[in-house]
Amino acid sequence: MPVKYKVGIVGGGFAVRGHLPAFSAHERFEVVALASPHSAKNAAKERNIPHAFQSCEAMLRGCELDVVSIANPPFAHHGDVLASLGAGKHVIAEKPFALSVQQAEQMLAAAKRATTATAVMHEFRWVPQRFALKELVANGHIAPLRELELTQLAPMLRLENKRPNTWWFDRSKGGGIAGALLSHLIDSANWLAGRAPARSTGFLRTANPRREDLSGPFTITADDGAFALIDYGEGVIARVSVDGTTAVNSLTVAAHGENRTAVASGSGLHAMRLFSVDDEETSELECKPSSNARFGAVDAHVPPIMDLLDEFVKEIETGESIVPTFAEAVATQKVLASIGYGT
């Protein structure tokens, strides 16, 4: 019988909605603890998790763990990643990885010293259409590659949406759409390009600096739009943007070459179709669904997270996998810094 790795999950939001069901459904992991200052006790009781703690450090001291999954707000990542690595645990960290390039580089250095397995939760690499797009680029079917285009439009931050006033609207705490969504698209661009950027530029935008929730009006410091232009050298560039103030949900991930274009597009992060376009025709390409697709009924995020976890098991046991790495997260952090994200 293969060993099951004991997992402690840090966070009370997406940690419980996404990480917890994915780890729980995966045959190689057993969730034994949750840590969150406010919600861990109730969440653990509801889901029959043996241990609950108010902090990551208390969890590390209070129970036996193999893996720590860090999915709390970005301002807490640095300390919890360093503590978990210092305790000799395997670590998966959510995006945005850090609040600054310096923090990101410190976490990478700590991972190298720890020699345990690490990964960053860029699960959208495993959306079947994106994974197929990567294979088209990597196998030379789009050649020479010239431009990557990644654009996400969403209505989540329109003024009429009464989102509560939390850390999410505080730039100093890592709030804003650049950390929440642009980080995923930057990672995808770097992954498709197959290398770190040579240089990047761009800007953040706050179209609605005054908002209102059920408690009344408040001022925000975080961005609701984020836009980056990335140069990879050798004639390859990427245009990457997210706008949370539009009327539609739309996502485009495209690779443009001199011989053809391949476009994955749809209404969101999971609902996509893949097309190949050249001088003669446009063809829709059928993509093999995830082997974990049946778990999508729990939450659409669960299958790609489980696909990432399949690779994380390989990383733990062999050191050979295709997980998104801390080194790649540093490259993403540098692009975010170049457009004004972080401290």
- Report cis status (omega within 30 of 0) of the bond before 303: no
Torsion sign, CA atoms 58, 23, 133, 137: positive
Please state, in angstroms and as integers, the Cα–Cα distance from residue 83 to each residue in 166, 190, 204, following that order.
25, 28, 32
pLDDT band at 1 (very low <50, low <70, confident <90, very high): confident
Residue 297: predicted pLDDT:
86
Q: Kindly report the three-state secondary structure assignment for every residue of 107-173.
A: HHHHHHHHCCCEEECCHHHHCHHHHHHHHHHHCCCCCCEEEEEEEEECCCCCCCCCCCCCHHHCHHH
* Global pTM value: 0.97
pLDDT band at 311 (very low <50, low <70, confident <90, very high): very high
Q: Where are the domains of the chain?
A: 5-123, 125-289+323-338
**Domain 5-123 and domain 125-289+323-338 have a common topology:** no
- Taking each continuous run of H as one helix and of E as one strand, the counts in the chain are 11, 16
Asked if the model's pLDDT at residue 253 lies above 80, the reply is yes
Residue 133: predicted pLDDT:
97
Residue 201: predicted pLDDT:
98
Distance between CA atoms of residues 321 and 81, nearest Å:
20
Q: What's the mean pLDDT in 214-227? A: 96
Residue 82: predicted pLDDT:
98
Q: What is the pLDDT of residues 147-195, one digit of tens each?
A: 999 999 999 999 999 999 999 999 999 999 999 999 999 999 999 999 9
Asked if the model's pLDDT at residue 258 lies above 80, the reply is yes
Distance between CA atoms of residues 52 and 226, nearest Å:
36
In b/e form, how buried is each residue of 70-93, taking b as 16+ CB within 10 angstroms? Answer: bbbbbbbbbebbbbbbebebbbbb
CATH class assigned to 125-289+323-338:
alpha beta
Residue 2: predicted pLDDT:
85
pLDDT band at 268 (very low <50, low <70, confident <90, very high): confident
Q: What's the mean pLDDT in 186-207? A: 98
Residue 136: predicted pLDDT:
97
Please state, in angstroms and as integers, the Cα–Cα distance from residue 149 to each residue in 174, 272, 276, 291, 293, following that order.
25, 15, 14, 28, 27
Residue 299: predicted pLDDT:
87
**For residue 269, which of 254, 250, 287 has the smallest C-alpha distance?**
250
**For residue 197, which of 226, 240, 162 has the smallest C-alpha distance?**
240
Question: Which of 106-110, 160-164, 245-249 has the least mean pLDDT?
Answer: 160-164
Which H or E run contains 67?
strand 67-70
Q: What is the pLDDT of residues 270-304, one digit of tens each?
A: 889 999 999 999 999 999 999 999 998 888 999 99
20: tokens are 């917890």
Amino acid at 185: L
Q: What is the pLDDT of residues 59-90, one digit of tens each?
A: 999 999 999 999 999 999 999 999 999 999 99
Tell me which of 3.40.50.720, 2.60.40.180, 3.40.50.1860, 3.30.43.10 is the CATH number of domain 5-123.
Answer: 3.40.50.720
Which H or E run contains 284?
strand 282-285
